[in-house]
Amino acid sequence: MSTNVAPRMIELVHVERSFRRADGTDVKAVNDVSFVIPEGEFVCLVGPSGCGKSTLLQMLAGLLEPSDGDIVVGNKPVTGPGPDRGVVFQKDSVFPWMRVIDNVEYGLKCRGVPAAERREIAWTYLKHVGLSHVERAWPRELSGGMLKRVAIATVFANGGRVLMLDEPFGALDYVTRHQLQDVLLNLWNADGAGTRRTVIFVTHDVDEALSLADRIMVFRSGNKVDDIAVKVSRPRTTDSLLLPEMVEIKRKLLHHLGLDHAAGLDAVADEAVA
């Protein structure tokens, strides 16, 4: 029997989350979601706006409590944020009052890592993302793409075994977005088989999910409606996206997003049901 199966890193069991709207009605943002993610897997969460992706990520990050169900990360129930889990939000996760290098090493400083050691780690990751030349710069001096590089360097430097990214490249132009996808994949891949971090990456962009993911989970109205393995080898090129199996997955994703027919843009907006 094969023993080559990665241990489970994340487990969700019947997780739900409701919110009370300002008008007093309830909305179920996440509805009875269960899944297991093995260590080292790169998972993309895809689904229309409002389907519960950020809510799910915030619960995994320990920033939001489930209304029901259990979340286990690395064999421990999630009861709050922890250094085992790093998050990059859509809006820049960079402190504007700290220089670039101080941003990258801040989490390590908080955990008492000695100055020389944390500087070395921060420097290594800044180099990885191509920003060693701006280590002393202030965030206001950087472009949007550079700020994202800082956020990625920071989340890797912090050493969390689970990294969660919520539409991190959504606001970037096409070319910068592709560059950043490469930066992220190279960093993830550099740890090597057996030691890679587990990544949960939220995106609206079907091609981004196809380029990045080992597995794509699709959400609609708070429910997980599909879970698709992407077995195409890496590095993936623009040609990889044209392989028949990729085209088939893309067809499925577009169908889930309501974009496979002349449905109009209304079909993309989702509304979680109470």
Ligand X SMILES: Nc1ncnc2c1ncn2[C@@H]1O[C@H](COP(=O)(O)OP(=O)(O)OP(=O)(O)O)[C@@H](O)[C@H]1O
Residues 46-75 that bind Mg ion (CB under 5 A): 54
The residue among 29, 17, 19 whose CA lies nearest residue 69 is: 17
Q: Are 152 and 180 in contact (CB under 8 A)?
A: yes
Closest CB to ligand X among residues 21, 140: 21
> Smallest gap, in angstroms, from Cβ of residue 53 to ligand X?
4
Torsion of CA 104, 180, 42, 226, to 10 degrees: 130
Q: Which does 52 bind (CB under 5 to 8 A by kind): ligand X, Mg ion, none?
A: ligand X
Determine the Cα–Cα distance for residues 274 and 242; give it in Å rounded to an integer.
Answer: 39
Closest CB to ligand X among residues 90, 124: 90
Closest CB to ligand X among residues 55, 181: 55
Determine the Cα–Cα distance for residues 40 and 99; give it in Å rounded to an integer.
Answer: 31
Q: Which stretch binds ligand X (CB under 6 A): 42-50, 78-86, 128-136, 140-148?
A: 42-50
Q: Which 3 state secondary structure label does DSSP give 113?
A: coil
Ordered strands of the 85-88 beta sheet: 85-88, 162-166, 198-203, 42-46, 215-220, 223-229
> Smallest gap, in angstroms, from Cβ of residue 219 to Mg ion?
11
| Position 21 contacts ligand X (CB under 6 A) | yes
| Position 51 contacts ligand X (CB under 6 A) | yes
Q: Which stretch binds ligand X (CB under 6 A): 48-56, 113-121, 232-240, 247-255?
A: 48-56
How many residues bind to ligand X according to rule CB under 6 A? 13
The residue among 100, 120, 104, 85 whose CA lies nearest residue 198 is: 85
CA angle 50-56-60, nearest 5°?
Answer: 160
Residues 200-239 that bind ligand X (CB under 6 A): none
The residue among 182, 188, 201, 161 whose CA lies nearest residue 43 is: 201
Binding residue for ligand X, selected from 15, 42, 54, 249, defined by CB under 6 A: 54
Binding residue for ligand X, selected from 12, 15, 27, 249, defined by CB under 6 A: 27
Residues 96-135 that bind ligand X (CB under 6 A): none
Determine the Cα–Cα distance for residues 32 and 25; give it in Å rounded to an integer.
Answer: 19
> Smallest gap, in angstroms, from Cβ of residue 40 to ligand X?
25
Interacting residues toward Mg ion by CB under 5 A: 54
Interacting residues toward ligand X by CB under 6 A: 19, 21, 27, 29, 47, 49-55, 272
